[in-house]
A and B are shown apart, each in its own frame.
Chain A
Amino acid sequence: MGDQAERNVVTTIYGDSHLLRSSLSDSAAEAESEMDEKQKSVERESRRKNFQVISQDSVQRRVAVIDDDEGIRLYLGEVLGQQGFQVQEYPSAEAFLSKLESSMRSNSPFADVILCDVRLPGLDGLSFVSTMKGKTTEIPVILMTAYAEVQSAVRAMREGAYDYLEKPFDLARLNSVLENAIRYRQLAFENKFLKNMIDPDIKLAGVQCLSPSMKAIYDLIKRVAPTESSVLITGESGVGKEVVARAIHDNSNRADRPFISINCSAIPESLLESELFGHTKGSFTGATQHRKGLFEEADGGTLFLDEIGDLHFSLQAKLLRVFQEQKIRAVGDNKFRSVNVRIITATHKNLAEEIKVSRFREDLYYRLNVIPIHIPPLRQRKEDVVILAKYFLERSARKNKVDVKGFTPAALTKLVYLPWKGNVRELQNVIERSVILCQGDLIDETDIPVGQASDADDLIEEMAYDMPTLRDVERRYILSVLKKHNGKKDAAAKVLGMSRRTLYRKLVNQDDDSETLQ
C-alpha cells in the first residue's frame, strides 16, 4: 500500500474516535483544507459558467409540427415562424420518430416542443404520446384536436401529453401554450442540471469510495453516463461490476427508464436467445404465447449483460447485429423490431485472450469495448475497505434490527489487512455475519469470522499437497490459530469455536500422538 493510501486507511479507521492523530500536522491539514476549498470554489464557478452557456444553448424555440394535413403544417410554419419559432414539419409520427432516433444516436437535440395531431394515419397522436413517454427526451407534446376529439386529448394528457389545442386554433392560446411548454422544457432542463451541480459526486450504491482508482472510475462514470457509448466493465468476481453499470444508468438520460440486468452464464444457451430477444407463440415447444425479450423490456433504458465472455458464439453474432442495426428479431418471428437500448457489458474473463482462442468475436469485442472500465480488486484499494465495511454494517444492522454501532479499531485493522479474495461481495457477507454474531454494540476482531475461514482455506489448500489425515489437519490448524494468537489459549479457543477445556484436551492428545509417533 502506498503512503497516501496508508494515511487514508489510518485516518478512516481512527479519525472518528480520535484514538490516533493523523500523520499530517494540523497546519498541513489546514493548508490542504484551504486548497480543497479553493479548488471546490473554482469548480463551482466553472460549473456555474457552463450552466449559463448550456442552459442558453440547450433549450431553444424549436417546434416540430406533426400533421398529415399539409395545410396545417404550412399555416403553423408561417405563423410560428413569425413568432420567432424554428419550425420543422413532419407528415407522420413515424417520420418524426425516425428523425428522433438518429438525433438521439448523435446526441444532438433538434426539437424543444412537439405539436402533434390526434388523428394521424399510422401511429396516431395517442400512441405517439405513449411512444414518446418511453424515449426520455422530456420534449413536451401538445396535441392538436378537433372539438369532437377533446376526450381523446384529455386521455392523452393522462398518458403524459403536456396540453392540447383545439382546431381551429385560437392564436393567443396557441402562443401561450407553446411559450409555457418551452418554459417547462427549460425548467426541466435547469432542474436536471442544477441537481447535477449541487450533487456532482457519483456514488456507487450510496457509497463514495476513497481510493484514487475508484475516484478515477467515478470520474469516468460521470463523463460516460450522459453519452450513448457502450461500456465494457472488467474486474474480478465480486468487485461490483453491476453496481458500476447501475451508476452509469442512474446518471444517464435514461435514468427514469428500465435498467435490466442478466447474467449470460446463468442461463442455458437454448433459453438465452428467447430471454434476450423474446419469442412468438408456437416458435418452440412450450412457447404458448408471445413473450417480450429483455431488449424490448429495456427499450429506452439500459440492458446490462453480465459475464458477456460466457455468451455462446452463435448469440454473439445476433448481439452484433443489434449493435449494427438497433433492431432485434424474436425467436420464430420474421420481422425485425427497432429498439433503443444502451448496452453495458461486464466480464471477469480476459476477452482479448478469448478472441485468440476463437471463443469470442473480435468485431463484437470492439463494439462492446468503446469505453473500458476496469475495477481493481478490493485488496488493491485498501482505503475503501473501512468505508465499505461501515456502510455494510449500517445497512445490515438496520435490516436485521440489531443495535450494532460500529467496529473496534482492532476489528477495522483486521478488515483492512485481510486478502478479500471474494472482493466487496465477500466483505459484505462477512460484515452481515459479524453483525448477527456480535454480542455487544461494537464488532470486535474476534467477531469477524473471515480470518479463520480464509486462513483455513489457505491452510487446507496448502495441505492438499501432502494429503494429510483429518486428525493431522485438525492438529495443524489448531497450532496455526494458537500461533496467530501468540499462544493465548482463550483467544484461540474462541476462534476455534470450542471451550478452553476442549482445546487443552485436544492439545494433550496431540502431544500424546506426537510421542507415540516418535
Chain B
Amino acid sequence: MGTAKKENIVEVSESTRSKYFRSLTIQIYQLRQAMEKSDYKTAREICHRVRGSASLFGLRDLGEACRDVEAACMAQDGERIVEGFQVIEVIVGRNVGTAEAS
C-alpha cells in the first residue's frame, strides 16, 4: 500500500473500498484500450482521473505512476508510456489482489 499523507488516511468501509477497486479495474482496462489505439489524449485523461483519487485510498505510488504516464502522454513519448503503464498494472494488480484476498 502507498504512503498517503497521514492526516488524509481515513478508514473507509470495505464496501466503499471494493467499489473503488472495481472502478479502478475498469479504468485500467480503458487505459489499456486507449494505449492500444495510441489514443494518448484519452490515456492522459484517464491517468489524470486515477491520479486524483489514488492517494485518497492510500495508493500514493499509483498516483505517482499515473502522473509519469500523464506527462509521457503529453510528450507523446511512447516508450515511457509503455513503461509507466506496466508499473501501473503491477500496482493495481497487487492492491486489487490484496483487497480481494482480504
A75 interfacial contact with B, CB 8 Å: yes
**Which residues of A (143-171) have their CB < 8 Å from a CB of B?**
146, 167-171
Beta-carbon contact of B19 and A79 below 8 Å = no
B101 interfacial contact with A, CB 8 Å: no
A-contact bits for B1-14, CB 8 A (1 contact / 0 none): 00011011010110
Beta-carbon contact of A78 and B16 below 8 Å = yes
Q: In whole angstroms, what is the CA distance A171 to B56 when docked?
A: 10
* B-chain residues with CB within 8 Å of residue A220 when the two chains form the complex: none
Residue of A nearest to B46 (CB): A69
Given contacts A71-B57, A74-B16, A77-B16, A168 and B50 within 8 Å (CB-CB): no
A395 interfacial contact with B, CB 8 Å: no
B-contact bits for A496-510, CB 8 A (1 contact / 0 none): 000000000000000
B97 interfacial contact with A, CB 8 Å: no
Residue of B nearest to A121 (CB): B45
B-contact bits for A66-82, CB 8 A (1 contact / 0 none): 01111110110111001
A379 interfacial contact with B, CB 8 Å: no
Beta-carbon contact of A75 and B48 below 8 Å = no
Given contacts A78-B10, A82-B10, A168-B5, A69 and B16 within 8 Å (CB-CB): no
Given contacts A72-B52, A75-B53, A171 and B10 within 8 Å (CB-CB): yes
- The majority secondary structure among interface residues of chain B is helix
B23 interfacial contact with A, CB 8 Å: yes
Beta-carbon contact of A79 and B12 below 8 Å = yes
Q: In whole angstroms, what is the CA distance A172 to B6 when docked?
A: 12
Residue of A nearest to B23 (CB): A70
Q: In whole angstroms, what is the CA distance A67 to B48 when docked?
A: 13
* B-chain residues with CB within 8 Å of residue A172 when the two chains form the complex: 7
* B-chain residues with CB within 8 Å of residue A82 when the two chains form the complex: 10
From residue A345, how far is it (CB to closest CB) to chain B in Å?
48
Given contacts A77-B16, A146-B52, A170 and B23 within 8 Å (CB-CB): no
Q: In whole angstroms, what is the CA distance A70 to B18 when docked?
A: 12
Residue of B nearest to A174 (CB): B8
Beta-carbon contact of A75 and B23 below 8 Å = no
Beta-carbon contact of A71 and B7 below 8 Å = no
Beta-carbon contact of B24 and A71 below 8 Å = yes
From residue B66, how far is it (CB to closest CB) to chain A in Å?
11
B41 interfacial contact with A, CB 8 Å: no
CB within 8 Å: A-B pair count = 66
Beta-carbon contact of B53 and A72 below 8 Å = yes
Q: In whole angstroms, what is the CA distance A168 to B56 when docked?
A: 7
Given contacts A71-B20, A170-B7, A119 and B57 within 8 Å (CB-CB): no
Count class of interface residues, chain A: 20 to 34
Beta-carbon contact of A70 and B8 below 8 Å = no
**Which residues of A (161-219) have their CB < 8 Å from a CB of B?**
167-172
From residue B28, how far is it (CB to closest CB) to chain A in Å?
12
Beta-carbon contact of A169 and B56 below 8 Å = yes
A-contact bits for B27-66, CB 8 A (1 contact / 0 none): 0000000000000000000001111111111000001000
From residue A367, how far is it (CB to closest CB) to chain B in Å?
45
Q: In whole angstroms, what is the CA distance A153 to B52 when docked?
A: 16
From residue A329, how far is it (CB to closest CB) to chain B in Å?
33
Given contacts A75-B57, A78-B13, A167 and B52 within 8 Å (CB-CB): yes
* A-chain residues with CB within 8 Å of residue B12 when the two chains form the complex: 74-75, 78-79
Q: Which of B4, B8, B23, B52 interacts with A74 by CB under 8 Å?
A: B23
Residue of B nearest to A72 (CB): B53
* B-chain residues with CB within 8 Å of residue A70 when the two chains form the complex: 19-20, 23, 53
Q: Which of B5, B10, B13, B54 interacts with A71 by CB under 8 Å?
A: B54
* B-chain residues with CB within 8 Å of residue A167 when the two chains form the complex: 52
Residue of B nearest to A67 (CB): B52
Q: In whole angstroms, what is the CA distance A67 to B52 when docked?
A: 10
**Which residues of A (116-131) have their CB < 8 Å from a CB of B?**
117, 119
* A-chain residues with CB within 8 Å of residue B23 when the two chains form the complex: 70-71, 74
Residue of A nearest to B12 (CB): A78
Q: In whole angstroms, what is the CA distance A169 to B50 when docked?
A: 15
Q: In whole angstroms, what is the CA distance A67 to B50 when docked?
A: 12
From residue B93, how far is it (CB to closest CB) to chain A in Å?
17
* B-chain residues with CB within 8 Å of residue A171 when the two chains form the complex: 7-8, 10
**Which residues of A (32-69) have their CB < 8 Å from a CB of B?**
67-69
* A-chain residues with CB within 8 Å of residue B53 when the two chains form the complex: 69-72, 74-75
Given contacts A71-B23, A74-B23, A79 and B52 within 8 Å (CB-CB): no
Residue of A nearest to B49 (CB): A69
* B-chain residues with CB within 8 Å of residue A68 when the two chains form the complex: 49
* B-chain residues with CB within 8 Å of residue A71 when the two chains form the complex: 20, 23-24, 49-50, 52-54, 56-57
Q: In whole angstroms, what is the CA distance A458 to B69 when docked?
A: 89
Residue of A nearest to B63 (CB): A168
* B-chain residues with CB within 8 Å of residue A69 when the two chains form the complex: 49-50, 52-53
Residue of B nearest to A173 (CB): B7
Residue of B nearest to A172 (CB): B7
List 8 additional contacts besides A69-B53, A167-B52; criterion CB under 8 Å.
A70-B19, A70-B23, A71-B54, A78-B10, A79-B10, A119-B48, A168-B5, A168-B52
A interface residues, Cβ below 8 angstroms from B: 67-72, 74-75, 77-79, 82, 117, 119, 146, 167-172
Q: Pick 12 A–B contacts, CB within 8 A, sort by A.
A: A67-B52, A71-B52, A71-B54, A71-B56, A71-B57, A72-B53, A72-B56, A77-B16, A78-B10, A168-B5, A171-B8, A172-B7
The 6 closest A-B pairs by CB, nearest first: A71-B53, A70-B23, A75-B56, A168-B55, A78-B12, A69-B49
